[in-house]
């Protein structure tokens, strides 16, 4: 299975911070924002990942992440010349995706919670069996989001049957926003070819999701109690994300969304490679936490 991090856009909601740098390179506490969505794909056991960004920001992100070998993964890069909707990522990434299933995460989305690995694994299995999966998170202001309507099964942790999806509805049918994490079966690039631009001229991901729904191939997973989802694309949400990560890391003494730590625990990198990262980061808090992992002080 392949993965895409869509890290495009001008980041205008974060001006003037993003006038000279990518939004995904801004810090969320002790690490760049892009580490968080990258880690989400790694937790789904995805090792081949495409980073899509702007012509200006792609080289900067590549300078940070390189070819991915220090994380035990393979990174490729592609340019989105003009942001024309989230579904465009699958046409840009057509050659990279090939005949595989593909997951996509937005570059400013942060996910955290005990059991996230299992939900990601379930979504991956469904994608490999021909079904797409979207993730829902309860919000107080559903008119601002793409919204899913669904039928509850016997267990809230099971995949749910989706009844409808709608982009920023005036009369929302639920309070569950469709967050920036999607799993699709093989052939998603061909499906994306058939997405027509919306009234605002974009290839909407909601339209793509509805196409799978009409074929009876769309599942949903809820990120309920105990899970956190944040879109760090505004000043307020960026601050909240930083405060949240700071609190968790300082109280628990472990790092959220560390690609090196994830790779190490999955056996994708060895002691020597982790030691190189510890040396690279020096005496920074991030480097010290990786050192604790290397010394066996952190095992989870």
Q: What is the pLDDT of residues 76-95, one digit of tens each?
A: 999 999 888 899 999 999 99
What's the confidence (pLDDT) of residue 299?
Answer: 63
Mean pLDDT (the chain) is 92
What's the confidence (pLDDT) of residue 271?
Answer: 96
Taking domain 2-132+180-270, whether its CATH number is 3.90.550.10 is answered by yes
**pTM of the shown model:** 0.94
What's the confidence (pLDDT) of residue 157?
Answer: 44
- Per-domain boundaries in the chain: 2-132+180-270
Which DSSP string do the residues of 164-212 spell out, in sequence order? Answer: EEEES-SS-S-SEEEEEEEEE-TTHHHHHHTPPP-TTS---HHHHHHHH
DSSP helix/strand/coil, 112: strand
pLDDT confidence tier of residue 129, bands split at 50, 70 and 90 = very high
CA nearest to 124, candidates 181, 51, 67: 181
How big is the chain by its Cα radius of gyration, in Å?
19
């Amino acid at each position: 299975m392949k993965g895409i991090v869509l890290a495009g856009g001008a980041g205008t909601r974060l001006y003037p911070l993003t006038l000279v740098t990518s939004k995904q390179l801004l810090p969320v506490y002790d690490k760049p924002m892009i580490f968080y969505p990258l880690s989400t794909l790694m937790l789904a056991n995805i090792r081949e990942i495409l980073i899509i960004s702007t012509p200006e920001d792609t080289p900067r992100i590549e300078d940070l992440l390189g070819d991915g070998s220090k994380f035990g993964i393979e990174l490729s890069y592609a340019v989105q010349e003009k942001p024309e909707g989230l579904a465009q990522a699958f046409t840009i990434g057509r050659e990279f995706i090939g005949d595989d299933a593909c997951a996509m995460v937005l570059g400013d989305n942060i996910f955290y919670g005990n059991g996230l690995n299992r939900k990601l694994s379930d979504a991956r299995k469904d994608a490999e069996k021909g079904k797409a999966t979207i993730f829902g998170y309860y919000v107080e202001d559903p008119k601002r989001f793409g919204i899913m309507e669904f039928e509850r099964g016997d267990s809230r942790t099971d995949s749910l049957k989706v009844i409808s999806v709608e982009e920023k509805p005036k009369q929302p049918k639920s309070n569950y926003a469709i967050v920036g994490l999607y799993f699709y079966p093989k052939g998603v690039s061909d499906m994306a070819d058939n997405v027509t631009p919306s009234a605002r001229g974009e290839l909407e991901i909601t339209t793509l999701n509805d196409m799978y729904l009409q074929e009876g191939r769309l599942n949903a997973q809820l990120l309920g109690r105990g899970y956190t989802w944040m879109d760090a694309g505004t000043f307020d949400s960026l601050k909240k994300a930083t405060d949240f990560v700071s609190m968790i890391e300082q109280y628990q003494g472990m790092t959220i969304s560390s690609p090196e730590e994830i790779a190490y625990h999955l056996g994708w990198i060895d002691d020597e490679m982790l030691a190189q990262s510890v040396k690279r980061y020096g005496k920074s808090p991030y480097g010290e936490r990786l050192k604790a992992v290397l010394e066996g002080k952190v095992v989870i």
